[in-house]
Amino acid sequence: MRVNDAIHFCPPARVVFSCGSRSQLPALLQRLGYKHGVLVTDTFFTGQTPWVDEYITAARSCGIETTVYEGGMPDPSTILCDDATRTLRAQMTAVPDHVIALGGGSNIDLAKALCLTLVEGAPIKNVVGTLEQAPRCLPLIAMPTTSGTGSEATPGAILVDPENATKVAVMDNQLRPIIALIDPEFTYSCPPKVTADAGIDALTHAIESYLTLDSSDFQRNGNPDPGYSGRSSLTMMFAREAICLCARYLLRAYRDGSDTEARIGMAYASHYAALSYGSSGLNAIHGIAYAVAGITHQSHGSTNAVTMPYVLDELVDIRHRELLDIARIFGIMDADERAAVAKLPRLIREIVGGLGIPTTFAEFGLKEEQLPGLVQDALEVKRLADAFPMPDAASAYQRIITRAFHGQMLEGRASA
Ligand SMILES: NC(=O)c1ccc[n+]([C@@H]2O[C@H](COP(=O)([O-])OP(=O)(O)OC[C@H]3O[C@@H](n4cnc5c(N)ncnc54)[C@H](O)[C@@H]3O)[C@@H](O)[C@H]2O)c1
């Protein structure tokens, strides 16, 4: 227990989790009274798996008709969302009564956005940001096929805004899926790069939310229903378990995609990490990673991965106890606690390298003259900078970004 916690915890209403659980969905939706849905996915799933056809047939036998949208793409944009809205509204005679997402974080985010736009057909950019009023939106059922983003349990949809080359978020608790259906078998076909990017995203969510601002210090700005509200004993419980699972299974799943125990372990890790960060929120790793992605256009997971070790280094004093917990989970058993904590960022960097992801901003393709702009861009994601548990986020971001560029680590400095 933490006596000052101020918990506002928002999990999905139903979590259905087991190998093969996808076969339960039609009967569950029938029981809930749904009649006509949209299934948002991409051509990998319609073309190379039987899952979409199997679902449509089984749902039809339960009296549910489904329109398939297979235009999902990695990192969906506001333009894709508006196109999909137009296409689907032209195809259907009535507004559907539910939306199903099948895919990675990209398809889930597109589906979340469509839950808003399919109702009235307005462009998604009309509703970007944190919404003033709870919006009218369709209920979402999310079926993740990667173990990573946890979007099946979060209030946000992240979309690329091609007008200014950044990602924008649409955020409200109404957008959280009403059913998170996690069938680890969906993830067995992930190629190594998708496994690596998604898996390190899950570990980032778990660690970053374990270390983030306390719920008692989190500024809710008068919002009675905040999507994110800081860490608590409840979120930290899920984060800790997710870190344990990643420590055991992340590299295993990457090295051998047929290791089903590791695949299942990462599916749990991803969802538990989301139950943590989906209410606590995140901070500097994602804040800086969004800015790195804005310049490099590299994947979400890899931009988090390259940033994480250097952010951990910055937190060794202010989050000593929590970093020691994590160090012990990763098997760093030095009796000297400061030495153990100092070793953790380097170990995380080795894991990142072991996943085939660059470990410095220089290797990642950034140029030294881009660093000041990067600091500014990262600080502009204010909700994430505000949740960084350091007194002066601006100078902390500057130090982190400089060290990440040159690959300098605290442990190395200590022993130099
Ligand atoms: N809303 C949120 O809370 C949240 C959180 C984190 C990340 N995101 C977003 O999620 C996106 C990244 O999602 P992701 O890492 O899951 O990847 P992704 O959804 O972008 O998918 C990457 C590629 O992997 C393929 N793929 C997915 N599952 C597969 C499977 N089982 N077998 C074979 N191929 C498969 C997809 O078809 C796609 O081509 C980013 O756009 C990011 O911004 C959102």
Judgement on whether residues 225 and 284 belong to the same structural domain of the protein: yes
Residue whose CB lies within 8 A of the most ligand 1 atoms, among 40, 106, 195, 383, for a mutation test:
106
Residue 187 half-sphere exposure toward CB, CA atoms < 13 A? 39
Can you list the residues of the chain whose pLDDT is less than 70? 130, 165, 412-416
CA of 248 to the centre of ligand 1 (A): 22
Q: How many domains does the chain have?
A: 2
Whether 7 is covered by a domain: the verdict is: no
Ligand 1 environment, Cβ below 6 A: 42, 44, 74-75, 103-107, 109, 145-146, 148-149, 151, 154, 156-158, 186-187, 189-190, 194, 197-198, 201, 300-301
Q: How far apart are CA 151 and CA 130, in angstroms?
A: 17
Judgement on whether residues 101 and 235 belong to the same structural domain of the protein: no
Note the pLDDT tens digit of each residue in 382-400: 999 999 999 999 999 999 9
Whether 173 is covered by a domain: the verdict is: yes
Single out the residue in 188, 223, 255 at which a domain terminates.
188
Instruction: Please state at what angle helix 192-211 crosses helix 284-296, rounded to 10 degrees.
Output: 140
Judgement on whether residues 282 and 396 belong to the same structural domain of the protein: yes
CA of 108 to the centre of ligand 1 (A): 8
CA of 286 to the centre of ligand 1 (A): 16
Whether 9 is covered by a domain: the verdict is: no
Element (H, E) at 24: none
Judgement on whether residues 248 and 352 belong to the same structural domain of the protein: yes
Give the Cβ contact number of residue 176 at 10 Å. Answer: 23
Residue whose CB lies within 8 A of the most ligand 1 atoms, among 43, 70, 146, 299, for a mutation test:
146
H-helix segments, 33-172: 43-48, 51-61, 78-91, 105-120
What is the residue type of 405?
Answer: F
Closest Cα to atom 6 of ligand 1: 149
pLDDT of residue 413: 53
pLDDT of residue 412: 53
**47-86: burial string, b at 16+ Cβ within 10 Å, e else:** eeeebbeebbebbeeeebebbbbbbbeebbbbbbbbebbe
> What is the domain range of residue 21?
14-188
Q: Which among 134, 110, 138 has a CA at the least distance from the CA of 124?
A: 110
Work out which ligand 1 atom sits closest to the CA atom of 149. Answer: 6
Residue whose CB lies within 8 A of the most ligand 1 atoms, among 109, 161, 302, for a mutation test:
109
Work out which ligand 1 atom sits closest to the CA atom of 186. Answer: 31
Judgement on whether residues 286 and 159 belong to the same structural domain of the protein: no
CA of 103 to the centre of ligand 1 (A): 7
Q: How many residues make up the chain in this entry?
A: 416
Judgement on whether residues 196 and 140 belong to the same structural domain of the protein: no
pLDDT of residue 165: 67
Instruction: Please state at what angle helix 78-91 crosses helix 105-120, rounded to 10 degrees.
Output: 50
Q: How far apart are CA 286 and CA 290, in angstroms?
A: 6
Single out the residue in 148, 166, 188 at which a domain terminates.
188
Whether 209 is covered by a domain: the verdict is: yes
Judgement on whether residues 258 and 381 belong to the same structural domain of the protein: yes
pLDDT of residue 137: 94
Whether 5 is covered by a domain: the verdict is: no
Helix, strand, coil content of the chain in percent (nearest 5): 55, 10, 30
pLDDT of residue 171: 92
Judgement on whether residues 234 and 92 belong to the same structural domain of the protein: no
Single out the residue in 123, 156, 188 at which a domain terminates.
188
Q: Which among 165, 169, 30, 1 has a CA at the least distance from the CA of 98?
A: 30
Whether 70 is covered by a domain: the verdict is: yes
CA of 260 to the centre of ligand 1 (A): 20
Do the Cβ atoms of 173 and 252 come closer than 8 Å? no
Whether 1 is covered by a domain: the verdict is: no
Q: In which residue are the tokens 């970093």 written?
A: 323
Judgement on whether residues 303 and 405 belong to the same structural domain of the protein: yes
pLDDT of residue 416: 35
pLDDT of residue 292: 95
Q: State both tokens at 213.
A: 């601002």
Residue 64 half-sphere exposure toward CB, CA atoms < 13 A? 27
Do the Cβ atoms of 227 and 169 come closer than 8 Å? no
- Cα 234–chain centre separation: 18
Give the Cβ contact number of residue 316 at 10 Å. Answer: 17
CATH code assigned at 208? 1.20.1090.10
CA of 274 to the centre of ligand 1 (A): 14
Whether 245 is covered by a domain: the verdict is: yes
